Amino acid sequence: MALQGSMSFAAFTLFLVLTTVSHGRNINPPVYGICSSSVILHGYKCQEHEVTTNDGYILSVQRIPEGRANGSGSRTRKQPVIIQHGVLVDGMTWLLNPPEQDLPLILADNGFDVWIANSRGTRFSRRHISLDPSSPAFWNWSWDELVSYDLPAIFNYVFTQTQQKINYVGHSLGTLTALASFSEGKLVNQLKSAALLSPIAYLSHMNTALGVIAAKSFVGEVTTLFGLAEFNPKGLTVDAFLKSLCAYPGIDCYDLMTEITGKNCCLNSSTVDIFLRNEPQSTSTKNMVHLAQTVRRGVLTKFNYVRPDYNIMHYGDVFPPIYNLSNIPHDLPLFISYGGRDALSDARDVQNLLDNLKFHDVDKLSVQFIKEYAHADYVMGFNAKDFVYNAVISFFNHQVNT
């Protein structure tokens, strides 16, 4: 099972690469900011912010301080919400549908102060106080650093700006980094509640039709890929590696959205077209390797340098430390939603996560299962407002009133 799962990040990247190639390479919109391209044109106020992490990365964050109708929402002091995307995409992925279907704008219209995060290495967060993206040192990080630096920096910034505890929404990798942070006691003093959509804390049951061959290919190529500090799905080297997977007998790369994310029930073709004009985004090769380690080992640990002396140098032990999710405070309000058709966030893996939360306060844990939903439905589904987002808002509002 672990091998079946470990190919999924490579296969997801393969989907993004091939569909991007089929639409042409130079298709990203002008780099003038998410506010201008995706928020202000719909009649919302939007501010571009920069957040500098303790290790020097300069992150782009968009703030939507209120709804389209000035002062919309009943509360005068609006609750802040941070929204965090997954791997190989950026904050734009939340804004691909019409405004009445996009989570950030729905939250703003319901009286929340919305902050959209963009992880290091993505299109609008490719800056550092001293390093250049052309330098391998710029890409020397995995999702450990998102836990240790990116999320704390964004939380600290938003808390400083608003002086209020913060609600959080994460999707996919945005759930993994949040759960790892919470397990180490990070963010919890600034957090009001968290909504985790398609959580991927455990990944050993991921299943896709591309099968074991992609897993073996990705794992087998790690030493080669590690020479590439930036994992750029549009780059020629990664492109050639990933497209080669389609040459294997029995591999069908025709409908990769379904093959990789599961059979999404509720995506408009026009939204998928916009998605393909904006994604994929770069990450670090080290991050992809770490994700593959997470899948293969079936446990959540910090990055494994494999060589005992390297692990000792970084951690003081031959093995990397474990993120123990049972350490998450039992009174931390958590909303978890997962889908029955999700090939990345398999229901059995979500159950493993829930087993780690079995001592959580009953009135602080809300779990939603949507039989028809797959991975992308949670971000781009035309009915996600009715199925998911309204439930998230109700959960957040319940925390305000308790």
Please report the pLDDT score of residue 3 as a whole number. 35
**Alpha-carbon span 188 to 90, nearest angstrom:** 24
Contact 13, 29 (CB under 8 A): no
Q: Note if the pTM is more than 0.75.
A: yes
Domain boundaries, the chain: 34-400
The 3-state DSSP class for residue 171 equals strand
**CA-CA distances (angstroms) from residue 236 to 13, 231, 284, 387?**
13, 11, 16, 40
CATH code that applies to domain 34-400 = 3.40.50.1820
Does 162 have pLDDT greater than 60? yes
pLDDT one-digit tens code per residue, 254-311: 555 665 677 888 888 888 888 877 777 888 888 888 887 877 777 899 999 888 999 9
Mean pLDDT, all residues of the chain:
83
Give the Cβ contact number of residue 62 at 10 Å: 25
| pLDDT band at residue 2 using 50, 70 and 90 as cut-offs | very low
Dig out the tokens for 261 from the structure. 């994310």
Does 26 have pLDDT greater than 80? no
More confident residue, 223 or 139: 139
299-306: long-range contacts, CB 8 A cutoff, minimum separation 24: 300/176, 300/179, 300/180, 300/201, 300/202, 300/325, 302/144, 303/142, 303/144
The pLDDT of 196-210, averaged and rounded, is: 74
| pLDDT band at residue 81 using 50, 70 and 90 as cut-offs | very high
The pLDDT of 43-67, averaged and rounded, is: 97
Does 121 have pLDDT greater than 90? yes
Please report the pLDDT score of residue 214 as a whole number. 45
**For residue 119, how many C-alpha atoms fall within 13 Å in the half-sphere facing its CB?**
29
Does 18 have pLDDT greater than 50? no
| pLDDT band at residue 226 using 50, 70 and 90 as cut-offs | low
Lowest-confidence segment of 225-229, 314-318, 358-362 by average pLDDT: 225-229
Please report the pLDDT score of residue 257 as a whole number. 62
Does 176 have pLDDT greater than 70? yes
Give the Cβ contact number of residue 345 at 10 Å: 30
Please report the pLDDT score of residue 402 as a whole number. 61
Please report the pLDDT score of residue 252 as a whole number. 57
Please report the pLDDT score of residue 346 as a whole number. 81
**Alpha-carbon span 337 to 190, nearest angstrom:** 22
* Catalytic (active-site) positions: 172, 342, 375
Does 184 have pLDDT greater than 60? yes
Longest dimension (CA), the chain: 60
Please report the pLDDT score of residue 14 as a whole number. 47
- Cα Rg of the chain, angstroms: 20
The 3-state DSSP class for residue 394 equals helix
Segments in 46-145 forming alpha helices (H)? 103-109, 143-145
**CA-CA distances (angstroms) from residue 275 to 36, 96, 326?**
17, 7, 36
Does 227 have pLDDT greater than 60? yes
